[in-house]
Amino acid sequence: MARWNSCNILHVAPDAKRLWQFDAKSGGFVLGREQRVPHTQPLPRKGVAKNWASLWQPKLNIAWLPAENVFLRVIELPASNFEETLSMVELQLEKLSPIPVTQIVWTLHVVGTHTAPPKSDAVPETLQTVIVVIAARNMVEEFLGKLETQGYLADRLEVPMLDQLTAVNATEDGAYIFPTSLAGQNAALVAWWGGGALRNLSFITLAASGDRAAELKNQIAHIAWAGELEGWFTNSAKWHLLADTVNATEWEGVLRAALNEPVQVSAPLAPAELAARTAKRVATSGKSNLLPEEFTTRYHQQFVDRLWLRALFYCLIAYGIGLVIYFSAVAWANVKTGKVEAEVAGLGASYTNTLQLKARYGVLKERAQLKYAALDCWQIVAEALPQGINLQRFSFNDGKKLSLSGSCAPEEISKISDTGAFYDSIRKAKLNGQPMFDSNPTGNDQFGYRPAGNQVSWSFAVTLLHTEEEAP
């Protein structure tokens, strides 16, 4: 029971298709929905088809085979397990089956055990009563083909009469009559109990016209004679009619006239309850059924193939959605890029003008800085130049280097070269509290002098540190 999550029971009745949908709950099946579908309409695919959810929520599809397509045989066998019972029945199939065994499908159902009367030379033997269900293979295949056109792939084929019989509480020997329909003909299944065990199953029909009671009596008499020969029929049999209100009204009068005996009437199981019993029986102990093995294999392969195809289909859809998103993103990026390129193209002229203006501004700024730097240098030199020293050359090269040269009397050269003198004060000069020149001269920048007649020529150079700083 724990294996199944839900169960569908399909009954193809003469007037319509009836579908019961059960949910597995509390160790049994609870009716969730009952539908009546006209033959002209398809079955609800959502309820009967299997999909991905069936992998972790298994669904059991059962179809009731019409009563006119099956043969029922009752036999007694020594009590044993199912596998041994199956083998014993298989050995008797040729005797039990009305058609060649190569053209049938069959199954069995054990309805109970009883103790056989002891023989003079043996101990009592425990026997089991087995119902053998036989159906023509071509009829089963034709029935399954009709179900396939409706999208209903059956996991099992069952006959509801088995569950109707097991529901009977046969406390006394007699015949239990279950009215049914055989290919549109008014008929009934007769179950004969004797000695506390089921002995025989047979169908009788009710004529549409003529002396219905006499014909029915004749059919029952033939079954009774066969029972007398086999030793299970007794004249003390009781007659029970299990039928709904409509069938009970029709059958009770005919049976009373045919048997000239009282008939006890009671209600059979309701179709929904019968379907629930079938679902529970199959889910708990169904080891064999009328569905051919090749159909089971083919249905399983179709289910697997359908899952793979759906998975591939969904993958293709996801891939397509991904492509749409990707190309949409690329198109949006191209649109944004085009807008930016258009803006850049529109700003090209103004950008070029801006660069030109920036370059011009840089040149003007540099000129202004050089102008102020030259003036600052001239002011520092003018303030620091000692008396008696001649400044002959003042040059400001590349806006970075200040070169000074001149002449003086030999005795006044110390005013230039001594510590704290003109050269030292120029080199250590500050502007706005910051050193203005590099205090570590190299190469030709160092102070130098040479005699020139009665004068001494001197020269030195200093490098500006902050040429970008404008004067206040």
362 within domain boundaries: no
Task: Please provide the DSSP assignment of 435-458 as one string.
Answer: E-B-SS--GGGS-EEEEETTEEEE
> Residues 281, 391: one domain?
no
**Where residue 468 falls among pLDDT bands split at 50, 70, 90?**
very low
Cross-strand pairs, 203: 189
Q: Which residue is listed with tokens 């064999």?
A: 288
308 within domain boundaries: no
- Exposure letters 179-211 (e unless 16+ CB within 10 A, then b): bbbbeeebbbbbbbbbeebbbbbbbbebeeeee
What is the per-residue pLDDT across 134-192, written as a single tens digit (0 to 9) for each?
Answer: 999 999 999 999 999 988 999 999 999 999 988 887 777 888 999 998 878 889 999 98
* Across 392-408, average pLDDT: 81
347 within domain boundaries: no
338 within domain boundaries: no
> Which pLDDT score, from 0 to 100, does residue 120 have?
62
Which of these three, 250, 282, 302, is where a domain ends? 302
Round the CA-based radius of gyration of the chain to a whole number and report it.
58
pLDDT exceeds cutoff 60 at 428: yes
Task: Please provide the DSSP assignment of 14-48 as one string.
Answer: SS-EEEEEEEEETTEEEEEEEEEE-TTS---HHHH
pLDDT exceeds cutoff 80 at 443: no
Instruction: Give the predicted TM-score (pTM) of the model.
Output: 0.68
> Which pLDDT score, from 0 to 100, does residue 122 have?
66
> Residues 279, 405: one domain?
no
Which of these three, 302, 333, 362, is where a domain ends? 302
What is the per-residue pLDDT across 198-226, written as a single tens digit (0 to 9) for each?
Answer: 899 999 998 888 888 899 999 988 888 88
* Across 345-368, average pLDDT: 81
> Which pLDDT score, from 0 to 100, does residue 469 have?
45
Copy the structure tokens of residue 160: 């509801």
> Residues 164, 244: one domain?
yes
> Which pLDDT score, from 0 to 100, does residue 3 have?
79
Give the CATH number for residue 439: 3.30.1360
**Where residue 444 falls among pLDDT bands split at 50, 70, 90?**
low
Domain count, the chain: 2
Quote the CA–CA distance of 32 and 19 in Å, as a whole number: 11
- Exposure letters 280-301 (e unless 16+ CB within 10 A, then b): bbbbeebeebbbeeebeeebee
Q: Whose CA is closest to 427, among 453, 404, 456?
A: 404
Q: Whose CA is closest to 129, among 75, 93, 91?
A: 75
Which of these three, 302, 335, 362, is where a domain ends? 302
192 within domain boundaries: yes
**Which residues have a Cβ under 8 Å from the Cβ of 83 and sit 6 or more positions away?**
none
pLDDT exceeds cutoff 80 at 270: yes
Which amino acid is present at 186? N
181 within domain boundaries: yes
CB neighbour class for 419 (10 Å; exposed up to 12, middle 13-18, buried from 19) = exposed
Q: Are 466 and 434 in contact (CB under 8 A)?
A: yes
Host domain of residue 124: 67-140+154-302
316 within domain boundaries: no
